[in-house]
Amino acid sequence: MLRLPVMAGLVTLLARVLMAASPIGVYLDFDEPPSNAAVDAMRKEASGSLDRVGIRIAWRLVSENRGNEPFERLVVVKLTGGCACGGFLPRTREILVLGTTAVADGRVLPYSQVRCDAVRRLLPEIEYASDRRLGDAALGRVLGRVLAHELYHAVLGTPHHSVSGLAKGFQTTDELKSDDFSFDGADWKLQPAVVK
């Protein structure tokens, strides 16, 4: 007789456990149709970096948003420029903004931007890769690291940086391209801060 309520309860319990680890909804908004290989690599890299600090991501597209999917936390990421290797963007010695996160009234907002063109200009060996698919995958991995860095700001609500790992205050192209470059777990123990 008690089987039904017990089963119902167990299902609810399972749902609650899953909800306790509910993912952060990250909505991607592309300027131009991206390379699938680059997007796959970007998502994989960013998911892997955040998974190591216990944060799961549910990827969504702004273009498919119907305004009715709830999340505990949301971040919107605009990807500007062409997110695919084109073989035509020259390298530059100018300062390049790779990514930004918005701030209003001293409060970090969950709106970030990743500049695909800037990353491509910074890494000509990827932009001019002879194998376009491999180049796109390599580009995606770097984009994933820039994105993960911006998510660090957007999710924690902090403009501050750590002294090591993906959240530190400077990064080299070698780090951005290396086999393993991610967050130090301690970075994510910071509490959301209000910028003074």
Give the number of other CB atoms < 10 A from CB of residue 24.
18
Tokens at 162, concatenated: 């750590």
- Residue 2 binds another protein (CB under 8 A): yes
Q: Is 27 helix (H, G, I), strand (E, B) or coil?
A: strand
- Residue 162 binds another protein (CB under 8 A): no
Rounded to a whole number of angstroms, the distance between the first and last alpha carbons of the chain is 60
- Residue 87 binds another protein (CB under 8 A): no
Of 58, 96, 190, 193, the residue at the interface with another protein (CB under 8 A) is 96
Q: Report how far residue 94's alpha carbon sits from residue 140's, in angstroms, rounded to the nearest whole number.
A: 22
- Residue 16 binds another protein (CB under 8 A): yes
- Residue 191 binds another protein (CB under 8 A): no
Q: Report how far residue 29's alpha carbon sits from residue 46's, in angstroms, rounded to the nearest whole number.
A: 16
Nearest approach, Cβ of residue 67 and another protein (Å): 3
Q: Is 30 helix (H, G, I), strand (E, B) or coil?
A: strand
Q: Which of residues 112-151 bind another protein (CB under 8 A)?
A: 113, 122-125, 146, 149-150
Q: Report how far residue 26's alpha carbon sits from residue 76's, in angstroms, rounded to the nearest whole number.
A: 6
Using CB under 8 A, list all residues that contact another protein: 2-3, 5-6, 8-10, 12-13, 15-16, 25, 27, 29, 62, 65-74, 76, 91-105, 107-111, 113, 122-125, 146, 149-150, 153, 159, 161, 169-174, 177, 195
